[in-house]
Chains A and B, each alone.
Chain A
Amino acid sequence: MARAAVLERLSRRPPLRWHTATVRDVVVESPRARTLVLDMPEWAGHRAGQHVDVRLTAEDGYQAQRSYSVASAPELDALELTIELVADGEVSPYLVHELRPGDQLELRGPIGGHFTWSVPDGGPLLLLAGGSGLVPLMSMLRHRAARASDVPARLLASVRSPEDRLYGAELETLEPRAGLHIAWTYTRSPPPGWDGWARRVDADMLAELGPGPDERPLIFVCGPTAFVEHVATLLVDAGHDPGAIRAERFGPTGG
């Protein structure tokens, strides 16, 4: 019967349960950010752009939970999360400063099918990152590289200063491959001798960056809520189809 078939297929879908992940390594990305390289036997894979929920439990049972975007490509054998220190945060100081290889975290996911991109989705891709909003977009670019895809892609990453840059060296090695263009803008202090953009994202910057609306890019914007609202408004004002813009808002903090 139709109903039994539906219920049977649903029962085969992995439930969204908490699993224990073990820290394999903690990598310094910047003075305020670390990448946690995690092993989780039950991890079923993810699509670039998705996130996980992380839960910490103190000795007395107190729990705190936060969401973090998966930084790694789906093709990687480990799961990587990049955590940036949130001013006066409750969880990020622990993950950035305290966590060591061998420690365990509880993880749930992957979560979220809307803010995802896979090579078969095509392009051209326009990726706009505010601060740590670069993390899920990096997963997309790593996936693109792992598939040796030449879907045209442009990344604009807005950070305050050079020490806030994530994945700087890796992006430099990725860029020469076909069809990828990386641009940075510094909103507080650019590096010495910098002749690129040194201001908040604005209409002129987006026009110079491209692609224009006529190319019908798939657009992903991620970062603090204020950054996302500002950039999304600029994109719509520039004529981009609002339906082509996918956003992920990180809340008031950061970048």
Chain B
Amino acid sequence: MTELYTDGNDAAGLLAEFMAADPTTTRRRCQSCHAENPLAAHRAYRGAGVVLRCPACGDVAVVIGDCEGELVIEWRGAYRTRRPPQ
């Protein structure tokens, strides 16, 4: 059945809500150790780009390619942000 899916345009509102949230207060549940911590508490390392690591287990949480003109981001784990009251 091809009617079971729409596309990213339909999910855009939800995605935009997530992206508009303050990253420091967004919480991440680690895919490795399952600890939950705000992104503000994650450890940031500067290499070519930026790596955020879980403060509990050190595993990679977010990798950011700080490429001029472009940002590339890989998110690992589950992210949680409060939705503003509608």
Contacts and interface: CB of A to CB of B under 8 A. Distances in A.
B30 to A, nearest CB: 15
Overall SS of chain B's interface: helix
Contacts, number: 36
B24 to A, nearest CB: 4
B40 A6 contact: no
A112 interface: yes
Overall SS of chain A's interface: mixed
Contact of B13 (A7, A115, A246): A7
A17 interface: no
Contacts of A247: 40-41
Contacts of A111: 24
A3 B25 contact: no
B22 A114 contact: yes
A246 B40 contact: yes
B72 interface: no
B24 A115 contact: yes
A251 to B, nearest CB: 9
Interface residues of A, number: 16
Contacts of B12: 3, 7
Interface string A233-248: 0000000000000111
Interface string B16-47: 11001010110000000000001111000000
Contacts of A6: 13, 16-17
Residue picked from B13, B39, B84, most chain A C-beta under 10 Å:
B13
B2 interface: no
A111 B25 CA distance: 11
Contact of A112 (B16, B24, B86): B24
A10 B16 contact: yes
A45 to B, nearest CB: 15
Interface in A116-170: none
A5 B41 contact: no
Contact of B25 (A5, A114, A248): A114
Contacts of A114: 22, 24-25, 38-41
Contact of B17 (A10, A112, A113, A246): A10
Interface in B35-64: 38-41
A206 B71 CA distance: 43
Contact of B40 (A2, A13, A112): A112
Contacts of B20: 10, 13
A40 B36 CA distance: 38
A115 B40 contact: yes
Nearest to B84: A9
Contacts of A3: 12-13
Interface of B: 12-13, 16-17, 20, 22, 24-25, 38-41, 84, 86
Given A3-B12, A114-B22, A247-B41, 12 more contacts: A3-B13, A5-B86, A7-B12, A7-B16, A112-B24, A113-B22, A114-B38, A114-B40, A115-B24, A246-B40, A247-B40, A248-B40
